[in-house]
Amino acid sequence: MTVTHPTLRRAAAVTAGAAAIVLLAAGAASAHVTVHPESYAKGATDGVLTFRVPNEEDSASTTKVQVFLPTDHPVLGVLVHPQDGWTAKVTTAKLKTPVKTDDGTITEAASEITFTGGRIGAGQYEDFTVAFGQLPDDTGQLVFKTLQTYSDGKVARWIEEPTGGAEPENPAPVLKLTAGDPTAAPAPAKSTATTTQAADSSDSTARGLGIAGLVAGVLGLAAAAFALVRSRGARS
């Protein structure tokens, strides 16, 4: 016979709330591929971009990273910084619209950079640094769609472009291009130590929320059981 009781229904609601908190905490602890700095001046020259790739899997390592560069607004003069343990391959493509520069007309530009050979373990990240000769001056942002391949064959597709609302589930790295002096250096990126501390803080907060949710669920069930037993005893 199924027994329903208002107290048990309230306990179930508390438990469901606890589960929701745990899921939200898990989401807060996730991370995705990002580009640093977050912005440059339009037409900036002789700069550096760093792609930060965190490993989100507990049982697999990242073994391949593919960064796709837009060719409708090309990044010119791409050079890859050597990375210990990794091999970088730069793929170029012909431009539909050649770009005129002081050094002549550019008809090809980098369209993809593939990093292979290394490993990013669980709880780790890798920074891949790319130098450029010139950024475009005819757009407000550059979207670098990225594929992250794991040792178990899983591929994380960081390819979703921002729409102006909530952040997409699998966002691509986005570099904002702003009006300003193209020869000026961008604002310094957060230091590795600061970024690590922020990540640790976020992770600790997530774990704390998860534990709090579980405790709330247990206490709710215990209170429900006590109330039910007490009410039955009063009726006896």
Q: Which residue ranges make up each domain of the chain?
A: 1-30+189-236, 38-187
Going from the C-alpha of 189 to that of each of 63, 80, 101, 158, 211, the distances in angstroms are: 26, 19, 29, 21, 33
List the one residue out of 189, 186, 209 whose CA is nearest residue 28. 209
Q: Which CATH class is domain 38-187?
A: mainly beta
Structure tokens at 59: 């049982």
Asked whether residue 198 carries a pLDDT value surpassing 50, the answer given is: no
User: What integer is the mean pLDDT of 58-78?
Assistant: 97
Q: pTM (2 decimals)?
A: 0.69
Q: How confident is the model at residue 180 (pLDDT cuts 50, 70, 90)?
A: confident
Q: What is the mean pLDDT of the chain?
A: 78
User: What integer is the mean pLDDT of 80-89?
Assistant: 96
User: What integer is the mean pLDDT of 221-235?
Assistant: 48
Give the model's pLDDT for residue 50.
98
Give the model's pLDDT for residue 13.
45
Distance CA 100, CA 181 (A): 20
Q: How many CB atoms lie within 10 A of CB 54?
A: 17
Alpha helices in the chain (DSSP H): 6-28, 192-235
Give the model's pLDDT for residue 189.
52
Q: How confident is the model at residue 185 (pLDDT cuts 50, 70, 90)?
A: confident
For 1-19, the pLDDT digits (tens) are 444 455 444 544 444 444 4
User: What integer is the mean pLDDT of 145-171?
Assistant: 93
Sign of CA dihedral 69, 146, 122, 193: positive
User: What integer is the mean pLDDT of 155-178?
Assistant: 93
